[in-house]
Amino acid sequence: MISAADAAVPTAFLRVEKRGRAGRILLDRPRALHALDEGMVLGLHRALEEWRHDPAVDHVVFASSTPGRAFCAGGDIRAGRELALAGRPDLVERYFEREYALNAVVASYPKPTVALVDGVCMGGGVGLALHCRHRLATPASVIAMPETAIGFFPDVGATFLFRHLPPGLAAWLALTGGRLDGQAAAALGLIDAAVSPDRLAAIDTALDGPGAVAADLLPGGDAARRPVLTPGQERLAAWFDPKHGLDGILRRLEADGGEEARRQLALLRSMSPFSLRVVVEQFRRAAGLSLADCLALDLHLARRLTARPDFVEGVRAVLVDKDRQPRWRPARLEDVSDDEVAAVFAGLED
């Protein structure tokens, strides 16, 4: 539950309304591609709590004000960087605690939740959309978790969301920030279906009606459905199989020597070396955990990694100066010690 003080926080970047039988939340921060600031997180949570027992609301729909461009590009990590630089780790932690609490609420919400994704959906956007009961995207949408590029890690319960995938493909998505279009995400079972923009708009309108979800307007997620991989994805899954360890993944890419293997190797080498080591251990520890425990692990890691220099530097290089030239510390995978990685997980039960 959110506190009375949280409930009073104004939200400038959400449009919240009841339309017909639907509770509808439109993300409306276009200049930041609808990245979730703390007010948006609280506003989303507040609306869901208000509608939880409202008999006038049958289901909840999430969309954005710029279809075709972005659903949600992630969390407000620029603000997180500024707080870290200001010496306010307590406020950084508070943001992630609230964001992960929202993920848990969406995933367990008693009424049908519908994500209509049309455009970029990354990081915090993945946490909002993929925890919904019904998830649709346009074929040209882009779904990814690119956190290792900013010295962070795939959070928002990604270890839970990716667990039905072949381990190597999950590792590829997590380590490289690999991008999936709507068709690929549907084939892998990360969303329910890829539909045209016109069809998505028609579904959005139809959702105003009573019983729209129950009337099979939307396909439901099938947890038992096996992901369908393309030959290229099968190759990625073999290269990135985590049973070989990160060093083994690098050796397999180097041994292949082909153009795509070289591209993936260069991509890995551009990411935060420390984050890459942490992510391998994160996914190992998260195997078999409940969503609540995966989010608890995420919060622990968020505390630790936002306090490290790679987070501040990675956000600078990608979002502030945009020079794409991060100065990682350590600079090479070979220089990340096992003891340093173990220290990040200290205090957690294995």
- Catalytic residue numbers read 75, 124, 147, 155
CA-to-CA separations, 253 to 52, 179, 337, in angstroms, rounded: 49, 19, 22
Per-residue buried b or exposed e for 20-59, using 16+ beta carbons within 10 Å of the residue's own CB: bbbbbbbbbbeebbbbbbbbbbbbbbbbbeebeeeeebbb
DSSP 102-150: HHHHHHH-SS-EEEEE-SEEETHHHHHHTTSSEEEE-TT-EEE--GGGG
* Backbone angles phi and psi of 145, in degrees to 5: -125, 85
* Backbone angles phi and psi of 241, in degrees to 5: -55, 115
DSSP 218-229: SPPP-TTPPP--
- Amino acid at residue number 151: G
Q: Which position has the token pair 């890419």? A: 253
Per-residue buried b or exposed e for 224-245, using 16+ beta carbons within 10 Å of the residue's own CB: eeebebeeebebbbebbbbebe
The upper half-sphere exposure of residue 89, i.e. CA atoms within 13 Å in the direction of its Cβ, equals 12
